[in-house]
Amino acid sequence: MAGDWIKFEIATPNKPEVWAIAGALEVDPDAVVGKLLRVWAWFDEHTENGNAPSVSKTLLDRQVGVTGFCDAMISAGWMTENSGTITLPNFDRHNGKTAKNRALTAKRVSAHKARITNAPVTPKPLPREEKEKTNKSYTDDFLSAWAEYPPRAGGNSKSDAFKAWNARLREGHKPGDMIAGVKRYRAFCDAAERTGTAFVKQAASFFGPSDPPHFLEPWQVPAPTQKQTAGNRTQLPRSDGDLGPWAQANGFGSPRPGETYQQYRVRLQREVEQREREAA
């Protein structure tokens, strides 16, 4: 999806903009590249021209798991925000296969219209492939819910989720209630450390028939704890983006110059174990 963009805009994690984002957020440059890919892939899938008037920076930050990531992209010149609309510059020039597919589709439709104008008989229908694309057009409400849905390990069919979504609409459920349910479920999965694991429900099941529907359940967020522990051993946060704030809150230092997040994690674990030995 965003492969051509990555080649053009980044080329290597040594790109100055990548280091600027990494330094501003205290995230490893290699991780920054991966998170940039997730942002560009989201725009490639959900927009046609790189403009997203209905999406917020908070939502995109949650997509990559780092607060302030969009602001760092804006500072680096790889994202703009104007009157509530978030835009990726030069999107049509660099967004890869999606732009090419749209151009080819426009060409086919134009040729088809020309044949209709010149043909004295009933024109042939559009190819089956284009019919299927039209039939599977996702609504804005569903895309908003899909963007909020917690990522999971394993399959999570978007088309099956859309079928279940439409079935619940036909039963009289409102899109706003379903989107609110997704947000509650995302907060629950984040707090319970289920996000990104196989314990997250498939979206088709979440929107599937149940009594009551899963999206109407309260999904109460468990009370946060100051430390994550297993027995007597303190556990470091799993996300690199949470490592620096956690270290500062618990009296440990920031990453050293030139130190990768993997090296920083190993050093922090040693310091944690040393502190626990001294306290024993």
Mean pLDDT value across residues 182-208: 91
Provide the angle, in degrees to the nearest 10, between the axes of the packed helices 16-25 and 29-46: 100
CB distance 185 to 150 below 8 Å: yes
Q: Tell whether the model's pLDDT for residue 158 goes beyond 90.
A: yes
The CA distances from residue 142 to 145, 258, 268, in Å, are 5, 43, 42
pLDDT of residue 204: 95
CA-based nearest residue to 206, from 197, 216, 193, 215: 215
E strand or H helix at 264? helix 261-279
Phi, psi of 260 (to 5 degrees): -75, 165
Report pLDDT digits (tens) over 217-255.
999 876 655 444 444 567 788 777 788 888 888 888 888
Q: Tell whether the model's pLDDT for residue 6 goes beyond 50.
A: no
Confidence at 126, pLDDT banded by 50, 70, 90: low
Domain boundaries, the chain: 3-94, 97-135, 140-216, 231-279
Count of other CB atoms within 10 angstroms of residue 10: 18
* Token output for 201: 């429900």
Report pLDDT digits (tens) over 68-121.
999 998 988 888 888 878 988 877 665 655 555 655 566 677 776 766 666 555
Q: Tell whether the model's pLDDT for residue 45 goes beyond 90.
A: no
pLDDT of residue 12: 57
Question: E strands along 150-257, which residues?
Answer: 229-230, 233-234
